[in-house]
Structure 1
Amino acid sequence: MRRRAFFVVGLPVLLVMAQAWAASDVRGVRLWRAPDNTRLVFDLSGPVQHNVFTLAAPDRIVIDVSNAALKTSIEQLPLKNTPITGMRAAQRTADELRLVIDLSAEVTPKSFTLDPNQEYGHRLVVDLFDKGSDVDTPSVPATVTPSVPAAPVAPTLPATKRPTSPSARRDIVIAIDAGHGGEDPGALGPGNAREKDVVLAIAKRLQTQINAEKGYRAELTRTGDYFIPLRKRTEIARKKGADLFVSIHADAAPRSVAYGASVYALSDRGATSETARWLADTENQSDLIGGVGNVSLDDKDRMLAGVLLDLSMTATLSSSLDVGQRVLRNMGRIAPLHKDRVEQAGFMVLKSPDIPSILVETGFISNPGEANKLRSANHQQALARSIHTGIRQFFQQSPPPGTYIAWLRDSGKVSIGMREHTVRSGESLALIAQRYQVTLDSLRRANKLDSNIIKIGQTLTIPASTLASQQ
């Protein structure tokens, strides 16, 4: 009886083992090109074991996949602007597939497997990093030495941002991060709505609006459809000299009735709501590569290092909550809000001690009504405008030292909030007034206009926003 019981219990285990070792088919191959790497994604019918190594003279990558067979063509991939010149495949043994990638230049490979998600099944991902890319460099500077502000204002800028002379007046730099991208579609909505596409469109509109205003410069962390690890996004922002990091998303919720825009800042404790916790977990799971993200304070006494980091986080979180509340208030004028305050959660993409950072959820793409709006060019433009207005209001009150906006405030020549706008094709005076949230009459008075007629290329003075002064 004991032996019979053993075999009955062991049968499911044997079945699981047999399934685990069953051959998997490579059913498709996709390719994504990013500025410093090329990503190959092999779609699989099941999990696999694999090994990747490089060969020289000529340069090539070899991928051995155990218990797999090729069931698709690998000859039609778009190889232009990549280091890949061709791909070959052969069944090395009865149960091992060998893939060879021919290269025109040396690369550094990294590989990993992915479990199924909403859109794809099992996958093998091989990233080929261009020579000279910073794939293995830390994502933060070696040392962070934060200042202690007397009041909640933007943190003191790193030395690389300070002007070289009193007359130097730099732009305020806004890093705009469109979430997800490439192999990672983000949340999926009805009608084939994909988060990665919607947020990139909004990010580009926001960049255009910010760059049209003197004293500001917007930089995108990604400019196309490719994936960037979460920690590298803040690294890109830091390299651009960012004064503010804004991550744009359009997430989903377990229930399709969830709706409304939200703004999040980092929390050094628990999340402020169950939704914030769920969204943070979802976003953090999208970083499938990993890497280091800790601030190095090795040259400091342990207690001093903790104090310095705590002070930096306090100052930065204070600024993040400030700008986040202004953005949220303006978004509430054109879209329903999920919560009427900035929420906090442990988003990995916001963990940058020296840059104020916010994550903007433009709506729930899982909600059919909001999905339709998020795909609308007019709504995207309005969302970008509301985010831009909140950012402007924050920096009018707390402009970083050495910037053009700080000079406007401190010189007394122009009151804070007075800005310039160059008229572009398709713009009307009423549209410009709406964009900057000023009245049409005040805009005419500021420019001594007798009518609403303006010309392309004309420079307009934008008066201080009444809304901004009230906040």
Structure 2
Amino acid sequence: MRAAMAVIPLMLLISASAFAGGEIQNVRHWTAPDQTRIVFDVSDGIVFTVHKETGRVFIDFQDTTLKDSLPSTIDMKKPAIEKIVLGRSPGDVLRAELHIPEGAESKVFRLKRFQDRPERVVVDLRLPALEKKESETRQAVKKDRRERIVIIDPGHGGDDPGALGRHGTKEKDVVLQIGRKLRDELNGREGYRAFLTRNGDYYVPFRKRVTIAKEYGADLFVSIHADAVKGTHARGSSVYALSLSGASNEAARLLATNENLSDIIGGVSEEESGEETDAILLNMFQTNTINRSMLFGSTVLDRLGDVGNIKFASVQHAPFRVLKLPDIPSVLVETAYISNPEEEKLLKHRLHQQKIAGAIADAITEFLPAEETGGPDGKIVKKGRSGREDRTAVALYPVKRGETLAGIAKKHDTTLAVLLKLNDMKIDDPLLWGRKIKVPAADSGEEAVQPKKTAGSREPASKRHFLTYRVKKGDSLGRIAREKQVALQVLLEANDMKRGDPLFVGRLLKIPVAGTAADTATAAEKPKKATANGREKMIYYRVKRGDNLTEIARRHHTSVENLMALNSIKRGDPLYVNRRIRVPSPSAP
């Protein structure tokens, strides 16, 4: 027996004549795994009422016509909706009849005109049983996890396209493609599992994105976006972390303002768009989590510098709603400027998308090594690697008053992840003054310690031919593999390494070479041709609009660190257009 009909008047005491000529201009839909959204684009101020029965939702539009191009029946067969029937009813009423399956729930609400979007009547149709099942699945992953959990959040979606490129490229499409590639890249690495907040063209409210991350028990949260400005010259990647007060600069403030409008553009009802995170809870966790987010963001920036231009040399911060996760390090990555025609073209290219995904994945494995993974009890446990230990020499360094692990890592040209692994520490462990910690060995006069070989260590292959290469600051295995034209997996096997292993500055790597004879000279130790005065010959380069140190270094076959040393530049220093900087001469060795 059908339930009693409920009538919900949405506008009362308004003259129907005032809305004569009202029109349904379009009917659209967005589908998520557990729900479907129906959107009626309508004339401003249209009057309608809603009636609900078992298996039906009726929306009666007063004094309204249907655009001629729209069909009278729309077959859907989507989650929570079977079809829509549009037709006239007694009393000059245009009725939209939605056929929904048993157990589906509906919510109908109005969205006022906003920016270039017309007034909309939105119907959200949900399957609570399926939502509950998905939530339970996420919580089961959290309970039984044995890998690092990374949540990837492709920005925008559905009615919110995000930024638009000059050639019509939509931000929501390219960031979903990059997000999927990042998920697949991480899932192919031992000790990591990655999940998307959305895996299709639909909008996920901020509150649900936060809920997804919490239910999975995420170790990291990465929101993927593409930037845009009015002009076409801005270029480069940037990384943002949460700020609970102001923004690091005006650009960060404007970006956060635009991104925080997504719930309005995407069409979230007022009751669903409230803040998920309690301000007191945020303040409790802000110092540790935001500091970790900044460290993680710095690692992401370093790796993105291997792929292309960098807009800001340091992590920026602003009050992004999507990053308000009190106990999960979270960053927002602006992969490139979609408003720049050149970068728009790159963002659509599959190979470039894969490079971006690979760079972010490298940063994740560097910041959060897979050896420390969550066990069934939620505690961090060690995950062995066949008893193999890294055979690079280390030294003991006495911690000084006021020092941090991040500062010590920079001082010794290494990463925070390497120090944590060497010292069997977690990122929030206290660092006591006077404690001696292990750091990669260098010519520093510190007490050297050489790790012992273990029984599980493998000897290198004796029948293959190799060059040797000394690792420099800023190197990554991916970059070395590309420069030496060797497959990354071959390089890993030649050096008895796995993805995520730390790469120490000064370490000697074996580079497999073709042929019958091996050149065993160390690449970093080959004799250099001396100039007349015994120094490397320099020229001056004038900085152009859009330049950054990474790109300039690449063009002049040198490193960012070398450029910084030559020109007394520090990380974060602005690089002004027309500034003259010293670079190695093309004729220099």
The one-letter code sitting in structure 1 at the alignment partner of 2:26 is G
- After superposition, residues 202-351 of structure 1 pair within 5 angstroms as 202-287=178-263, 288-289=267-268, 290-295=272-277, 306=280, 309-351=282-324
Using the alignment, how far apart are the partners of 2:490 and 2:40 within structure 1?
A: 59
The one-letter code sitting in structure 1 at the alignment partner of 2:502 is A
Using the alignment, how far apart are the partners of 1:468 and 1:108 within structure 2?
A: 62
Structure with the greater relative contact order (CA < 8 A, sep ≥ 6): 1 or 2? 1
TM-score of the superposition, structure 1-length normalised?
A: 0.73
| 2:122 counterpart SS class | strand
Using the alignment, how far apart are the partners of 1:310 and 1:271 within structure 2?
A: 17
Distance 1:26 1:318, change over 3 A: same
Deviation at 1:43, TM superposition (A): 2.2
Using the alignment, how far apart are the partners of 2:506 and 2:90 within structure 1?
A: 70
> What is the match of residue 129 of structure 1?
126
Using the alignment, how far apart are the partners of 2:151 and 2:84 within structure 1?
A: 37
Do structure 1's residue 86 and structure 2's residue 83 form an aligned pair?
yes
- Higher deviation after alignment, 367-376 or 84-93: 84-93
The one-letter code sitting in structure 2 at the alignment partner of 1:396 is P
Kindly report the root-mean-square deviation, in angstroms, between the aligned alpha carbons of the 2 structures.
3.9
Give 1 or 2: higher helix fraction.
1
Using the alignment, how far apart are the partners of 2:388 and 2:344 within structure 1?
A: 46
Whether the 8 Å contact between 1:260 and 1:335 is mirrored in structure 2 is: yes
Distance 1:284 1:23, change over 3 A: farther
Using the alignment, how far apart are the partners of 2:119 and 2:477 within structure 1?
A: 46
Structure ID, larger Rg: 2
The one-letter code sitting in structure 2 at the alignment partner of 1:211 is N
Deviation at 1:376, TM superposition (A): 0.9
The one-letter code sitting in structure 1 at the alignment partner of 2:21 is A
> What is the match of residue 201 of structure 1?
177
Using the alignment, how far apart are the partners of 2:63 and 2:242 within structure 1?
A: 44
Do structure 1's residue 447 and structure 2's residue 493 form an aligned pair?
yes
- Higher deviation after alignment, 434-443 or 253-262: 434-443
Distance 1:227 1:397, change over 3 A: closer
Using the alignment, how far apart are the partners of 1:466 and 1:115 within structure 2?
A: 57
Whether the 8 Å contact between 1:437 and 1:467 is mirrored in structure 2 is: no
For residues 181-217 of structure 1, give each alpha carbon's deviation from its aligned partner in whole angstroms, at most 9, with x where no partner exists.
1222111112220011100000011111111110011
Distance 1:70 1:175, change over 3 A: same
| 1:132 counterpart SS class | helix
Whether the 8 Å contact between 1:26 and 1:69 is mirrored in structure 2 is: yes
Using the alignment, how far apart are the partners of 2:109 and 2:52 within structure 1?
A: 16
Using the alignment, how far apart are the partners of 2:98 and 2:141 within structure 1?
A: 41
Deviation at 1:108, TM superposition (A): 2.1
- Higher deviation after alignment, 264-273 or 63-72: 63-72
- After superposition, residues 458-469 of structure 1 pair within 5 angstroms as 461-462=498-499, 464-466=502-504
Deviation at 1:313, TM superposition (A): 2.0
| 2:78 counterpart SS class | coil
Do structure 1's residue 190 and structure 2's residue 166 form an aligned pair?
yes
> What is the match of residue 103 of structure 1?
100
| 2:76 counterpart SS class | coil
Deviation at 1:69, TM superposition (A): 1.6
Q: Give structure 1 stretches of 5+ with no counterpart.
A: 1-16, 139-157, 164-168, 297-304, 419-432, 450-458
> Identity over the aligned pairs, expressed in percent?
38
Using the alignment, how far apart are the partners of 2:105 and 2:44 within structure 1?
A: 26
For residues 112-169 of structure 1, give each alpha carbon's deviation from its aligned partner in whole angstroms, at most 9, with x where no partner exists.
334556764333221111133659xx9xxxxxxxxxxxxxxxxxxx999577xxxxx8
Whether the 8 Å contact between 1:171 and 1:404 is mirrored in structure 2 is: no
Q: Aligned pair count?
A: 397
Using the alignment, how far apart are the partners of 2:248 and 2:107 within structure 1?
A: 36
Using the alignment, how far apart are the partners of 2:250 and 2:18 within structure 1?
A: 36
Using the alignment, how far apart are the partners of 2:252 and 2:258 within structure 1?
A: 10
Deviation at 1:337, TM superposition (A): 1.8
Deviation at 1:173, TM superposition (A): 0.6
The one-letter code sitting in structure 2 at the alignment partner of 1:273 is N
Q: Find 1:174's aligned residue among 147, 150, 154.
A: 150
Q: Find 2:109's aligned residue among 87, 109, 112.
A: 112
Whether the 8 Å contact between 2:108 and 2:123 is mirrored in structure 1 is: yes
Whether the 8 Å contact between 2:80 and 2:126 is mirrored in structure 1 is: no
- After superposition, residues 390-469 of structure 1 pair within 5 angstroms as 390-396=363-369, 399=372, 402=375, 407-408=382-383, 413-415=388-390, 436-439=478-481, 447-448=493-494, 461-462=498-499, 464-466=502-504
Distance 1:446 1:181, change over 3 A: closer
Whether the 8 Å contact between 1:231 and 1:348 is mirrored in structure 2 is: no
Using the alignment, how far apart are the partners of 1:398 and 1:319 within structure 2?
A: 19
Q: Give structure 2 stretches of 5+ with no counterpart.
A: 1-14, 391-416, 422-474, 508-560, 562-570, 572-589
The one-letter code sitting in structure 1 at the alignment partner of 2:320 is F
> What is the match of residue 152 of structure 1?
none
Do structure 1's residue 63 and structure 2's residue 101 form an aligned pair?
no
